[in-house]
Structure formats: C-alpha cells, structure tokens
Structure 1
Amino acid sequence: MTQHKVPVTVLSGYLGSGKTTVLNHVLNNRNGLRVAVIVNDMSEVNIDAALIRSETSLSRTEERLVELSNGCICCTLRDDLLIEVQRLVHEEKYDYILIESTGISEPIPVAQTFSYADPESGIDLTQLTRLDCLVTVVDAARFWEDFASGETLLERGEVSSTEDTRDVVDLLIDQIETCDVLILNKCDLVDKEGLGELEAMLRKLQPSAKIIRTVNGKVDPAEILNTGRFDLIRTSESPGWLQELRSGEHTPETEEYGISSFVYRRRLPFHPQRLAQFMSQWPEDVVRAKGIAWVAAGEDMAASLSQAGPSIQFGPAGWWAASRPEAEQRELLANEPEIKRRWDPKWGDRMSELVMIGIHMNRENIESDLDRCLLLPEELEQNWSEFPNPLPWISVQP
C-alpha cells in the first residue's frame, strides 16, 4: 500500500452543463500533472469518454482514462468505482484522480465512497486517497428553464430505471447545495443582469462554495485541483437553508436582485388540510424552502418539507422527542443540548421551522398565509386524528 494518498476531484453537474468541456480544458492545461480520469456515463457507450479521448492528448504511459458505463457511480456502479480507484492508486503512476460523474449523479453518495471504509468489499479509500474537491458545473443559460420545468428525470428519458422518480429540480438543488466549487458555465449566453441574479441566488443556496464564472469551461486547473477544500462535515452543513437555521449564521441579503431569506418558526401545529391547500398554491417568489413542520395528525411525528421550484416533497421525519416515554425523554435532554435548548414546557420539541429563500418575497404575506394554516384555539382541544388529512403521510405505530 502506498503511503501517499492520491488527491481526488469529482466533477458533477446536470446533463449539458459542460462538465466534459471543463474536464478537457483542465487536462490540456495540467502542467505535467499525471492524471487518471474516470468518466461515468449512463449509456452503454460512454460518449463523454469518447469525447475526452478525441479532444485530449493523454499519454498512454502516464495517464489513464477509465470508463464506467451504463450506470451511476453514486448507486449501481459504486462497487466498480471502489475497485477502479483502488487499482489506480496501487499502480503508483498518478499524481491525481479526476472523476466526471454522470449528469444525474448526486455528490454526497460519491463523497461518502471516499470517506468511509466499505464493509462489503473491504476497500478503504480513506487510506488510499484524499477527496480534495467537489465541483458542480451549472449551465447559466438553461438553469432557470430546468429549475421551473416540473419534469422528472424519467419523463426526460434520463434514467435507466422506472424506479428513479426524482424531479430535475431536486437533482439540480442537490448538486448545488453539495459542492466546494461551483462553476457557472456558458456565461456568454446570459446578459449581465440575468447572470448577476443567478449568481446571487446560487450564492444564497450555497454560501460556502467558491463561484467561478466561465465561458466554454475555461477554468484555471488550480481552482479545482489540490484545493484542500473538501471536508465531509463542513460540506454536509454548508447549504444556505441549514446555515439560515443556525443562530448568528444568517447569510446577508442580496438587495440588488431582491434575493432574501427568512425562517418561519411557530409553536402551534398546522391543520393538515389547510397546509395542503397552502402547498397546492405555493408562492412563486419562494425558490427554495426546507425544514420541519408540526402537523396536527394522528401520528405524533415531525414532518419534513423540501421545496425547490415546482417540486415539493413532504413526509414523516421521525418521532418528536416529546412523544417518547419519559425515561427516553430524560436521556435525550441530558445528551442532546440542541433538544434541551428548544424544549418548551408544554409542547416539548414540537415546533415548525421552515427556511424560505426567494426573489422579491413578500415575507409578511407568506407568514400570514402560513399562520392561517395553524390550529385555532378551539381546534387544539379537538381530536387531531379526525382532521381531514390530504397530505402524503405514512401511518406508523410507535
């Protein structure tokens, strides 16, 4: 086993964003760095690998191009990725490994592959590699069109399995909220005002990433190679909505473009029918929302709400600590400072916390509309399980 950990950069980005163009540019300007390239493509024939091979002069003795086709390295081809990376490191020929993931790949599962030992294969990439940087490429010209499309990946024919029901916008958000460097590509196709607004929104969604504007994927290789930017804990806590929830970590508003955010916090539960009505008429000025909702339902569970553009995901997020037996409650309060800090004498940890991020949001109207969804005093005394509940919900017994 080599003592030198080979650094790794992972390129993510939705289909057509320009990942392969960025990769080709970096490979043609790598200043003698010996790079092994792994290209992942969902098709049986790896088109991206063919493009890289035709446009880049990789030395047969010093560089290698590995193709992982007909699957995604964040799921079906994960074992193949482990094996290939281990093999490349053991060859002791490469200074760097550069991975271009498929356009429908989510960064976190790929990052976890490099952060934990795999119990099934016994391969521990933490001893062989150092994940250096997660890079996401965004198509500046198509972003808002894809964001507002309301289409699923399946409807676009961009998945190999009918079990993949993800919306396009949810994938875009995953890739943006989980990166160390964000390359805003094709900037020449957007006017100055539109580009400024888009960058301001991306900065709001992911305030921790370095944003680089590019044309034709021309980025300085030093911006994405040997950066030392990746940290799994920091990356998992970097999305703007999560930072907004933390006291004292409010990200500043971008007044020039009307981009702002706020947290809606209430200690009363939502009436399920009225909340469902609100979600069916979601305010268009809210671009991204995420958080926990307390719903007056038969199950004493927290609900998770995640919205991005026209896509809204809603469902159970686990039992409230206050719903557990007293002995378990005492243990949680003793060991979980955050639960203790939020504890209410009457309601315990039950509350709603929703982060809203948007453009020209009318906060007063949004909060008033949500407040009208809360239970009235007389409804608090009623049997909550009898309320009409059109919300997607899973009935689980404790």
Structure 2
Amino acid sequence: MKEARNLAQTKIPVTVLSGYLGAGKTTILNHVLNNRNGLKVAVIVNDLSEVNIDADLIRDGGGLSRTEEKLVEMSNGCICCTLREDLLREVERLAKEGRFDYILIESTGISEPVPVAQTFSYVDEEMGIDLTRFCRLDTMVTVVDAYRFWHDFASGETLLERKQAAGEDDTREVVDLLIDQIEFCDVLVLNKCDKVEPDKLDELERLLRKLQPRARFIRSVQGRIDPAEILNTGLFDFEEASRSAGWIRELEAPAHTPETEEYGIGSFVYERVRPFHPERLMRWINEWPESVVRAKGVMWLATRNDIAQSFSQAGPSIQMGPAGYWVAALPKAEQAAILREEADLAGSWHPVYGDRITQVVFIGIGLDRDRIEAGLDDCLLTEEEMAGDWSRLSDPFPQAPGEWAEPASASRPQ
C-alpha cells in the first residue's frame, strides 16, 4: 500500500494542446515555457510538415535547455493514429526518467483529442504499456482561432482538399475536426481575439459555450495566457469530458427547456415517437436551415426499422449512418435482460415501438424552432403510411453493403 501511494504521488502530470492548424498552439506553448516558474518540462511536439517548424520555433524561443527540459519531435504522422505507439513509448520513457515535473504535448492540427486522451486512460494490452502507472492526464486544452473560425467552419472543405490529411484515406471534413476538438476539452483558449470586433467575439464565445458548456474559457492575444490556467489544473476526467458536449448536456437535461440567449443563440430538442419517411426527410435535409450550427442525435427511419440512425451536422457537413440495433429489435430474452439493468429505458419503453425514437438536439443562431419542427413533422409517416408496409417506401439514403441485408425487417412492428 505504501508503494502504491508513493507511485500515485509521483505520477507526472500531462497537458495536451489540441487545435486546428494555425490556431496558435505553438505560440501558446512558447509563452508557457517562457513563464513556467521553474518547472522542468518535457515537451513532445507532433508536426505533419516535412520540416519541423514547430520544433524550430520552440528551440529558438522556448527557453529549453538540455539539463532542464526534454524536446521530443514526432513527425510524418498524426498523434491520434499512426504515431500512437511512438507516443506511448516516449511518454513512458520520459515519465520513468523521473527528471521532469511536467509533460506538455502539442498535438498536430489534425489530431482528434479523444484517442490521445484514451492513450493516458487505458492499458495498451498489445504493447504492454500502462501510462496510468506513471502519468496523470491533467488538462485537455483546445485552441480556437477566433479570426478564422467561421471561415473554416463554413468552408465545406476536406482535409484532403486542403492537402492536410494524414493519408489518402483520410476523408474527414475540416468542420467535423473543429467540432471534435471543441466538444472534448477542459480548457478552451479563444486565441487571436485582437483580430475580431468585440461584438462578434462575444457572439462566437457564447456559441462555443453552447457547444462546450463544461470547459473553462480563456481569451488570448498572440497566445499569451497564464500557465496556471492549463498546468496542474486537475480538471481532466475522462467520463466527464466524454459527456461534456452541449448536445449531450441538452439531451440529458431533466426537462428539455429551450432557451434563447444574447445574440439569438439558442437550442432545443426535437423528439418524436414516430418514424421518418426517408424520401421526405432527405428533401428536408437538402434544404438545411442556415441558422442551425450544430445538430446531433438519433433518428428513426421507417425503412430501417431495426437499426437506429446516428445523425450529425456541423456547418455544411451532414452525416447519417447506423448506430446499432434498437433494443426493441433484439430477441425477447435480450430485451428483458437489458430492461432489468436499465431502469430509465424501461420507464420510457413504448408498448408497441419499444425504444425507437427520434431525438435530435439543434443548436444555432436565430433558430426558428416552430418552422424547423413543422418541417420535420411533415417528414414523419402519416397515419395511412403507419398502417402500411414500411419496407416499400422509397429510401434515397446510401446503403452500405451488409448494413441492411434484409429490407423486409423494416416492416411495421407488431
């Protein structure tokens, strides 16, 4: 027990800086290193460019010395995927050396924060490395470029189109990456605030707070922040961070009370226990309301009655795909076992449709809730359609091989 306590007390804290390319992560890193109050910091830099410009900048102005700090350069890959093995080994080695007070990691601009956090939260069985023995993930930081945010958000471009992808099979859209980074963090740094008009900056911050209500917000100019805001904060908790997105908070609220804040920023939950007609829903999606900045949730399609559909929208990016079987589509014995364990699900169980439901959170600026709800209601099955054969309805949504191998399963539940 004594050994375990000593190990816990000596775990080295880690801060991870995430944020899209050009947001100012390196500038913040340099500022923190120059104002670290004597902390011995090991720095891991992950950069996708052929020349490690980030590392050069740190060397030139970061106040690094061979006796006090350690700089580890990781290039030609992304910290959240191809370099995860290298990251594990480097962090383990640095922590075991016992010479450092802190590890500071700057992720590449296309890195998603969740896989990085998982690296510090779970044992890697394949490599036999357990960073939880040596490290404590202290703070996940996301840096947002206040000046270019709306440009990147609305661009509709992919990382491939911008020549920023991790590989030829990296088909992610820029806006989806921005949202991933915003929705999973403990601290959000709104950088380059001097380049934005005060009213527009206030509007942006209020919207980001709607997307990420849990994080601490910091405004900065040229990356100047108090290091104490991102070092040794004790803020990180994986479960909390995983459920910190605004749309999740909205869904889990005891009552879905819509609210409209200053600058017209608002949110509401669209919830119906009736399936969508796929063709009408596709038409509605193709005329997506510009006021909706973010929408996320689960949909019930009549033609795919056994499988819940995950729906996600961020700016011009709209995605929908299978999220798994409805509990009501499972064999009766499995249903009963799940309902015994999940009281909330049992309490909301529909006598005919079980757990089938549409629940989508809408977040935006100047939302016309009545119009959006009326438009979606028009996409629901009519009474006549409810009584018919749902599998015969027109379904223009893409069909991935093997996902819905038996269209007959879409018939109306008995």
Would the aligned equivalents of 1:204 and 1:251 in 2 still touch at CA under 8 Å?
A: no
Cα distance change of structure 1 residues 270 and 109 upon mapping to structure 2, 3 Å threshold: same
Cα distance change of structure 1 residues 59 and 334 upon mapping to structure 2, 3 Å threshold: same
Choose which of 232, 241, 253 in structure 2 pairs with 1:235: 241
Structure 2 distance, partners of 1:343, 1:164, is 40
Residue number in structure 2 paired with 1:35: 41
More divergent stretch after superposition (47-56 vs 17-26): 47-56
Cα distance change of structure 1 residues 373 and 290 upon mapping to structure 2, 3 Å threshold: same
Counterpart residue identity of residue 335, structure 1: E
Choose which of 371, 374, 377 in structure 2 pairs with 1:368: 374
Choose which of 256, 259, 268 in structure 1 pairs with 2:265: 259
* Residue 154 (1) aligns with residue 160 (2): yes
Listed as ranges, the matches of 1:375-386 within 5 Å are: 375-386=381-392
Would the aligned equivalents of 2:58 and 2:64 in 1 still touch at CA under 8 Å?
A: no
Listed as ranges, the matches of 1:115-264 within 5 Å are: 115-248=121-254, 253=259, 255-264=261-270
Structure 2 distance, partners of 1:240, 1:374, is 26
Would the aligned equivalents of 2:256 and 2:269 in 1 still touch at CA under 8 Å?
A: no
Which SS does the other structure have where 1:305 is aligned? strand
Counterpart residue identity of residue 112, structure 2: E
More divergent stretch after superposition (116-125 vs 242-251): 242-251
More divergent stretch after superposition (136-145 vs 46-55): 46-55
Which SS does the other structure have where 1:59 is aligned? coil
Choose which of 290, 295, 318 in structure 2 pairs with 1:289: 295
* Residue 55 (1) aligns with residue 65 (2): no
Which SS does the other structure have where 1:297 is aligned? helix
Task: Give a deviation string over 1:253-296, Cα, whole Å, max 9, x none.
Answer: 45221000000000000000011111111110000000000001
Post-superposition shift, 1:397? 4.6
Choose which of 110, 113, 127 in structure 1 pairs with 2:116: 110
Structure 2 distance, partners of 1:377, 1:253, is 32
Gapped runs of 5+ residues in structure 2? Answer: 407-414
Post-superposition shift, 1:199? 0.1
Structure 1 distance, partners of 2:247, 2:255, is 10
TM-score by length of 1: 0.97
Structure 1 distance, partners of 2:113, 2:19, is 9
Would the aligned equivalents of 1:315 and 1:393 in 2 still touch at CA under 8 Å?
A: no
Structure 2 distance, partners of 1:224, 1:347, is 47
Structure 1 distance, partners of 2:167, 2:24, is 24
Task: Give a deviation string over 1:215-246, Cα, whole Å, max 9, x none.
Answer: 00000000000000000000001000000001
Task: Give a deviation string over 1:102-154, Cα, whole Å, max 9, x none.
Answer: 00000000000000010111010000100000000000000001000000010
Which SS does the other structure have where 1:287 is aligned? strand
Structure 1 distance, partners of 2:206, 2:70, is 38
Q: CA RMSD in A?
A: 1.4
Would the aligned equivalents of 2:259 and 2:268 in 1 still touch at CA under 8 Å?
A: no
Which SS does the other structure have where 1:58 is aligned? coil
Post-superposition shift, 1:68? 0.4
Post-superposition shift, 1:50? 1.1
Would the aligned equivalents of 1:316 and 1:393 in 2 still touch at CA under 8 Å?
A: no
Which SS does the other structure have where 2:249 is aligned? helix
Number of residue pairs aligned between Structure 1 and Structure 2:
398
Post-superposition shift, 1:252? 7.9
Identity of aligned residues (%): 64
Would the aligned equivalents of 2:304 and 2:404 in 1 still touch at CA under 8 Å?
A: no
* Residue 396 (1) aligns with residue 397 (2): no
Post-superposition shift, 1:329? 1.0
Gapped runs of 5+ residues in structure 1? Answer: none
Structure 2 distance, partners of 1:358, 1:298, is 29
Structure 1 distance, partners of 2:255, 2:42, is 39
* Residue 326 (1) aligns with residue 332 (2): yes
Would the aligned equivalents of 2:268 and 2:363 in 1 still touch at CA under 8 Å?
A: yes
Would the aligned equivalents of 1:133 and 1:225 in 2 still touch at CA under 8 Å?
A: yes
Counterpart residue identity of residue 64, structure 1: K
Post-superposition shift, 1:340? 1.0
Cα distance change of structure 1 residues 84 and 162 upon mapping to structure 2, 3 Å threshold: same
Counterpart residue identity of residue 169, structure 2: E
Cα distance change of structure 1 residues 164 and 33 upon mapping to structure 2, 3 Å threshold: same
Would the aligned equivalents of 1:42 and 1:159 in 2 still touch at CA under 8 Å?
A: no
* Residue 68 (1) aligns with residue 39 (2): no
Structure 2 distance, partners of 1:338, 1:152, is 39
More divergent stretch after superposition (340-349 vs 202-211): 340-349
* Residue 356 (1) aligns with residue 369 (2): no
Structure 1 distance, partners of 2:131, 2:213, is 29
Structure 2 distance, partners of 1:303, 1:203, is 27
Listed as ranges, the matches of 1:297-312 within 5 Å are: 297-312=303-318
Structure 2 distance, partners of 1:161, 1:6, is 33
Residue number in structure 2 paired with 1:89: 95
